[in-house]
Amino acid sequence: MHTPSQTRLRVRYAETDQMGVVYYANFFVWCEIGRVEFFRQLGWDYKQMEIADDCHLPVVEAKCRYSAPARYDDEIIIETTVTAVRTYVIKFSYRVLRLAPDGNQLLAEAETVHFTVDRQMQKKPLPEKYQQAIRATML
């Protein structure tokens, strides 16, 4: 997977504010959806990472730059890539685009940084099988 993981969804009414614009924090929910699907596309279930490998990835930093509003019923795509992976840290980048017949429009670019821990929230190295597969996506 040398291209970004892609996840499509349609903006739901509940994600918008009184003006019909997506509430800004929902972009981070979409990043989580993209991240879970990234692992699924590598052949892993995020839930199984937590259960079988006692590997949890809490967010320790998040940022987003908004370029255009998303609105109710827009079809969007979340592009997810890993930009850095180290023993205890993974950094994801996201692009959220509105799908349109005349060309996709960039809505936002985001980034999240995750620290790997066990279920007691103690620092734990990211298992090697995940490190290898993630690094292969970065080539």
Residue 2: pLDDT band by 50, 70, 90 thresholds?
Answer: low
Domain 5-137 fold is Thiol Ester Dehydrase; Chain A (3.10.129)
* CA dist., res. 107 & res. 101, Å (int): 16
Question: What are 103-119's pLDDT values in tens digits?
Answer: 899 999 999 999 999 99
Residue 3: pLDDT band by 50, 70, 90 thresholds?
Answer: confident
pLDDT at 4: 87
pLDDT at 1: 47
Question: What are 44-100's pLDDT values in tens digits?
Answer: 988 999 999 999 999 999 999 999 999 999 999 999 999 999 999 999 999 999 998
How remote is the C-alpha of 34 from its chain's centroid? Answer: 4
Residue 122: pLDDT band by 50, 70, 90 thresholds?
Answer: very high
* CA dist., res. 51 & res. 13, Å (int): 33
Mean pLDDT of 20-44: 95
What are the structure tokens assigned to 17, written together? Answer: 């504010």
